[in-house]
Amino acid sequence: MPGRTVAIEALWDGDTEGWCVDLMALTDVPADEHRLATIRHGGDLRLFDGAVPPWPEAQEAEAVGRALAEQFGVPFHFAGSDRPDADAPRWRATS
């Protein structure tokens, strides 16, 4: 990746299949973001049929994101980790 990694961020994203969480590396120069992974554990129909806990992708993103941030020695940010929120504050806006 170009630039130095300054933070790892998890973001909710959604489409016609349902919600997912993107893990991003944020860099300084140039100030940019790079998708590292998209975590999706099925469509939203699983919530209605009780097939899985509500948001396992958030739990996975939290664990992996914290491990990556620790490895790089940077902050980890995941606003709205308890439920999908595409409008949750971003790391650059809060730092």
What is the average pLDDT value for the chain, to the nearest integer? Answer: 88
Give, for 34, the enclosing helix (H) or strand (E). Answer: strand 32-39
- Sequence spans of domains, the chain: 5-74
Q: Tell me which of 23-27, 65-69, 71-75, 84-88 is least confident.
A: 84-88
Tens-place pLDDT, residues 77-94: 999 888 888 889 999 877
Report DSSP letters for 2-28, one per residue: -S-EEEEEEEEEEETTEEEEEEEEEET
> What is the pTM for the complete model shown?
0.86
